[in-house]
């Protein structure tokens, strides 16, 4: 009899190495790094729009969305937020140049816009903008989407795909004395809530996740299987700090909002 697969006996996931082919400035604080390499031929079907890889910088791992993947050209693009001198991945991307190498594990992922939705509610800060843009890329021309994106300023707008039924609201942090995600949360909570079957993708700074989760589940009573919501990063914590405290954060949030009942 074969042993059941557990995290302990699962074979290690392959680490692949790719090379920077070129970089593009998507906006002043967003740099696109396009990677190439034979290792990309080993990547299977990418059925989701939130596919991410774990980039390895020495012993440190950083998680990034695949913005687009071109199988014919064997290229993979990742959009990095340039958030200052702190950290590993942001500064690395800001100075990346052709020929630089990076290794990664993955991709993982699990969400794509559902054809059952009447309205796609896509909400995020700039760290989730690559996943939101990837979702908009695959929506049918007549799909209805309400999109809320928080960025540093109007200079951070970027072209997004979508037909006449896609409404994009950009929220600019420099116009409000608020923390990451606060103005975004307010914008979502005060907008008209769409009628019909709403399916939501809500990601970004952890501090906006609590109020938006409460809003969607408790106030708007959106069924849980119609919502993908989680924090991608947290102010004041690096990725290691956020990932190691995320479980506690989620448990506390669920206890507060679900009365301790796991649903």
Closest alpha carbon to 183 in 148, 222, 231: 148
211 forms part of the interface with ligand FAD (CB under 6 A): no
Shortest gap between Cβ of 168 and ligand FAD (angstroms)?
18
Q: Which residue is nearest to ligand FAD (CB)?
A: 87
Q: Which of residues 217-236 bind ligand FAD (CB under 6 A)?
A: 232-236
Instruction: Select 15 or 191, whichever has its Cβ closest to ligand FAD.
Output: 15
Per CB under 6 A, 150 contacts ligand FAD? no
In the region spanning residues 63 to 82, those forming contacts with ligand FAD, defined by CB under 6 A, are 63-65, 79-81
> How far apart are alpha carbons 36 and 96 in whole angstroms?
14
Least Å distance, CB 109 to ligand FAD, is 8
Structure tokens at 214: 């409460």
Whole-angstrom Cα distance, residue 35 to residue 51? 15
Q: Which of 237, 249, 250, 258 binds ligand FAD (CB under 6 A)?
A: 237
Least Å distance, CB 118 to ligand FAD, is: 26
| C-beta closer to ligand FAD: residue 34 or 89 | 89
DSSP the chain: -PPPP-TTTSPPPPEEEEEEEEEEEEETTEEEEEEE-GGGGG------SS-EEEEEETTEEEEEE--EEETTTTEEEEEEE---SSSSHHHHHHT--TT-EEEEEEEE------TT-SEEEEEEETTTHHHHHHHHHHS-TT--EEEEEEESSGGG-------TTEEEEEEEGGGS---TTHHHHHHHHHSPPPPS-EEEEEEEEHHHHHHHHIIIIIIS---GGGEEEEEEE-TT--HHHHHHHHHHHHHHHHHHHHTT---
The site string for ligand FAD over 85-124 (x = CB under 6 A, - otherwise) reads: -xxxxx----------------------------------
Pick the closest to residue 26 from 208, 152, 122 (CA basis): 152
Nearer CB in complex with ligand FAD: 58/236? 236
Of these, 130, 136, 181, 198, which contacts ligand FAD (CB under 6 A)?
A: 130
CB nearer to ligand FAD: pick between 119 and 152: 152
If one asks whether residue 239 binds ligand FAD (CB under 6 A), the answer comes out as yes
The nearest distance, CB 23 to ligand FAD, in angstroms, is 14
Which x/- pattern over 45-64 shows residues binding ligand FAD (rule: CB under 6 A)? -------x---------xxx
Q: Least CB distance from residue 101 to ligand FAD, whole Å? A: 17
Tell me which residues touch ligand FAD (CB under 6 A).
52, 62-65, 79-81, 83, 86-90, 127, 130, 232-239
């Amino acid at each position: 009899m074969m042993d059941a697969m557990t995290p302990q006996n699962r074979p290690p996931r392959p680490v692949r190495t790719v090379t920077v082919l070129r970089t593009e400035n998507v906006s002043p604080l967003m740099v696109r790094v396009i990677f190439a390499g034979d290792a990309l031929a080993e990547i299977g079907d990418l059925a989701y729009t939130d596919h991410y890889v774990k980039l390895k910088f020495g012993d440190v791992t950083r998680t990034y969305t695949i913005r687009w993947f071109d199988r014919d050209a064997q290229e993979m693009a990742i959009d990095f937020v340039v958030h200052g001198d702190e950290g590993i991945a942001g500064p690395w991307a800001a100075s990346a140049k052709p020929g630089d190498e990076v290794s990664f594990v993955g991709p993982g992922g699990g969400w794509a816009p559902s054809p059952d939705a009447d309205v796609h509610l896509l909400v995020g800060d700039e760290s989730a903008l690559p996943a939101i843009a990837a979702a908009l890329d695959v929506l049918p021309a007549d799909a209805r989407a309400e999109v809320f994106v928080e960025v540093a300023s109007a200079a951070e707008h970027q072209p997004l795909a979508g037909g006449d039924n896609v409404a994009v609201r950009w929220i600019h942090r420099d116009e409000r004395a608020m923390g990451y995600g606060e103005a975004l949360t307010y914008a979502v909570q005060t907008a008209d809530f769409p009628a019909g079957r709403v399916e939501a993708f809500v990601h970004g700074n952890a501090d906006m996740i609590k109020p938006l989760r409460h809003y969607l589940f408790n106030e708007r009573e959106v069924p849980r299987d119609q919502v993908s919501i989680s924090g991608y990063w947290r102010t004041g914590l690096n990725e290691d700090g956020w990932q190691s405290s995320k479980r506690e954060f989620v448990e506390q949030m669920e206890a507060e909002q679900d009365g301790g009942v796991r649903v």
